[in-house]
Structure 1
Amino acid sequence: MTDSESDAESAASADTETDAPDVLVLRNGTHGMPVEQYVAAIRERLPNATIELARTPSEEREAIEAARFVTGMTLDEDLLEAADALEVFACAYAGTGHLPLEALEDRNVTVTNASGVHGPNIGEHVLGAILRFTRRFHVGARQQRRREWRHYKAHELQGSTVTIVGLGAIGQAVCERLEPFGVETIGVRYSPEKGGPTDEVIGFDGAAFDEALARTDYLVLACPLTETTRGLIDHETFVTIDPDAVLVNVARGPVIDTDALVQALRSNWIRGASLDVTDPEPLPEDHPLWTFENVQITPHNAGHTPKYYERLADIVAENVRRVAEEPTADLENQVLP
């Protein structure tokens, strides 16, 4: 550890007026991994700081009263009301739409997120889904179950056009992993003038998006859910896109009009779909999407990685040091204010 890091942690621990921890960790974990692993990862990076886990609802309400730096998956308004000293909330998810952002802003609380944590694992998930449909491994698996030695036709990824909607950390990770496969890539983002890692970058508006759909072989959705992206993939999209195209959604379920997707699958307007997210979610047992052999469904699982807490702890520990050194400093992954 450097002298500056040691000094930062000592400063973070120098609260003599209260028994508040340097970092309070709320009780909810994610992806079936115990939240204690997250606490251990933070402690490993900040050995001289006080890291406290609130393991029950009553412990959360008591501990958050004096806590200045809190991290967790969510923070409801009732718990926020009890947070008299809160200065930073480090959200352990990349998305923050589930948080009471207006209330946090009114109280001048700095909010950070877990952007970048999911890049490698979701990038690999998308690549796996694309290769599954390209080489039609699902057909081979079905024939294996039936013990059928029978050749079937496949596809080739090289020379295909992959359109990636959303060029954040996940979209960039997808693009990086596609590079060795000799594909053309189109990126869709709110500010196309910023460019990106894809061969071509366009916006959501105008004819450019429709033109991109018309020449897309694989459409990857890796965007946040906003007013612009809600229902973005609708009936008109499925009429426009090539019927041999494959849709991969690792964004949010409502980015796709589910009824339009079901109609497109029944009408053979697309070759198939890989859905890690759905609308509704969880997908009801009697939903027709379960019945299509050319639909791959995973239970919002692309975000799972054994490295999740490790990567998240890197972000949190760095921000604890920054706050200790300069309370007004910009933080990594800061989304509010």
Structure 2
Amino acid sequence: MTEREDPVESDRNARADGGDAGDVLVLRKGTHGMPIERYADALRERLPDQRVRLARTPDAEREAIANAEFVTGMVLEERVLEEATELAVFACAYAGTGHLPLDRLAERNVTVTNASGVHGPNIGEHVVGAILRFTRRFHVGARRQRRREWRHYQANELEGSTVTIVGLGAIGRAVCDRLEPFGVETIGVRYSPEKGGPTDEVIGFEDDPFHAALARTDYLVLACPLTETTRGLVDRAAFVTLDPGAVVVNVARGPVVDTDALVDALRSNWIRGASLDVTDPEPLPEEHPLWNFGNVQITPHNAGHTPMYYERLADVVAENARRFAAEGADATLENRVRL
């Protein structure tokens, strides 16, 4: 069997029968239609002194994880976790970790890290693109082009607008950085406003300051994790508070927005439009009314796609792998998730 045919492969053609703290095991699921081999190769480039193994079948995953201490992947299935008797670190290849068996991992004292920061540039560009689409009304121009209709329409300017960014993590900061040249005022919303941030103003999630911000908002950007606080954050009351000229851009999670309230807001002209990369439910059913609004842009959870995904992810995971190999359980790891 060749190295590529080996279901558990490494750059040294090593089998899965001898793991140590210098090993990194990559699980088989890829993302965004990009082969997982690219991720393994990116890790190997950054870890020439360590062994990177790639498990390409379910059986190979269960075999290889039995003695693996440092594992990385998009998902960690329960039946795979059952075999992970030596697991010390799971480096999740997504920014979100809600799909992982976090309680089980906590019980076993497994350190979990995530891919926070990997999406900053691409999602930041997606948000700015969505804002410019509504500002210059490119969707109107596209409709008239399809009709071969040469007829002028009114547009807007982004300069002087107020953009409220909910969530000031890596994505929120990237959005703020990319908006700076446009001459906008920015309001950031975060759990600890006393920490400040890159926006002109920072507030918390309390009703009074949040609604005061909504009343001034031209573009509401949702870039926060889904938590008990943010679930249903943009509800009927929020839509009523927003100015009728406001646009909602959601690159967070679908349930951050109350979908029924959004549909009502669009039907009643409470807002100018919405750009949705995420929806609730997701995928959005074919018969859902959101598909039919001319002032709604829908992308299929696609803002996270970038050809640089594995490269940026490998930068973070390789550094953590080096630290773990050198210091073991005492290592300070980037993007550690509180369990």
TM over 0.5: yes
Helix, strand or coil: the match of 1:311?
helix
CA distance in 2, matches of 1:320, 1:237: 44
CA distance in 2, matches of 1:199, 1:45: 38
Percent of aligned positions with the same letter in both sequences? Answer: 79
The one-letter code matched in structure 2 to 1:191 is S
**Equivalent residue, structure 2, for 1:5:** none
**Equivalent residue, structure 1, for 2:111:** 110
Helix, strand or coil: the match of 2:337?
strand
- Cα shift at 1:336: 3.9
CA distance in 1, matches of 2:114, 2:207: 31
CA distance in 1, matches of 2:19, 2:58: 17
**Equivalent residue, structure 1, for 2:138:** 137
Helix, strand or coil: the match of 1:24?
strand
Matched residue count: 322
CA distance in 1, matches of 2:272, 2:211: 18
- The answer to whether structure 1 residue 334 and structure 2 residue 339 are counterparts is no
CA distance in 2, matches of 1:269, 1:92: 38
The one-letter code matched in structure 1 to 2:161 is S
The one-letter code matched in structure 2 to 1:257 is D
- Cα shift at 1:219: 0.1
| Mapped contact 1:105–1:336 kept (Cα < 8 A) | no
RMSD of the alignment, in Å?
A: 1.3
The one-letter code matched in structure 2 to 1:102 is D
CA distance in 2, matches of 1:254, 1:35: 29
**Equivalent residue, structure 2, for 1:268:** 269
- Cα shift at 1:53: 0.8
| Mapped contact 1:252–1:277 kept (Cα < 8 A) | yes
Cα displacement string for residues 193-246 of structure 1 (whole angstroms, at most 9, x for unaligned residues): 000000000000131100100010000000000000000001101111000000
Question: Which is further off, 321-330 or 284-293?
Answer: 321-330
CA distance in 1, matches of 2:306, 2:242: 32
CA distance in 1, matches of 2:80, 2:338: 19
| Mapped contact 1:273–1:295 kept (Cα < 8 A) | yes
Q: 1:1-337, aligned counterparts within 5 Å? A: 19-20=18-19, 22-327=23-328, 328-336=330-338
| Mapped contact 1:25–1:52 kept (Cα < 8 A) | yes
- Cα shift at 1:77: 2.3
Superposition TM-score, scaled by structure 1 size: 0.94
CA distance in 1, matches of 2:338, 2:261: 35
The one-letter code matched in structure 1 to 2:236 is H
- Cα shift at 1:48: 2.4
- Cα shift at 1:192: 0.4
CA distance in 2, matches of 1:162, 1:155: 15
CA distance in 2, matches of 1:126, 1:247: 10
CA distance in 2, matches of 1:302, 1:235: 26
- Cα shift at 1:166: 0.2
Helix, strand or coil: the match of 1:207?
helix
**Equivalent residue, structure 1, for 2:6:** none
The one-letter code matched in structure 2 to 1:210 is H
CA distance in 1, matches of 2:149, 2:48: 58
Helix, strand or coil: the match of 2:297?
strand
CA distance in 2, matches of 1:140, 1:61: 53
CA distance in 2, matches of 1:216, 1:336: 33
- Cα shift at 1:47: 1.7
Unaligned runs of 5+ in 1: 1-12
Cα displacement string for residues 58-101 of structure 1 (whole angstroms, at most 9, x for unaligned residues): 11111100001000001122211110000100000001111111
Superposition TM-score, scaled by structure 2 size: 0.93
Question: Which is further off, 76-85 or 192-201?
Answer: 76-85
Runs of 4+ in 1 over 2 A off after TM superposition: none
Cα displacement string for residues 143-186 of structure 1 (whole angstroms, at most 9, x for unaligned residues): 00111110000010000000000000000000000000000000
Helix, strand or coil: the match of 1:164?
strand
The one-letter code matched in structure 2 to 1:27 is R
Helix, strand or coil: the match of 2:144?
helix
Cα displacement string for residues 278-336 of structure 1 (whole angstroms, at most 9, x for unaligned residues): 00000011110000010000000000000000000011110111011111111011114
CA distance in 2, matches of 1:184, 1:174: 13
CA distance in 1, matches of 2:42, 2:233: 38
CA distance in 2, matches of 1:199, 1:170: 17
Unaligned runs of 5+ in 2: 1-11
Helix, strand or coil: the match of 1:335?
coil
Helix, strand or coil: the match of 1:274?
strand
CA distance in 2, matches of 1:126, 1:103: 35
CA distance in 2, matches of 1:215, 1:127: 19
CA distance in 1, matches of 2:160, 2:60: 56
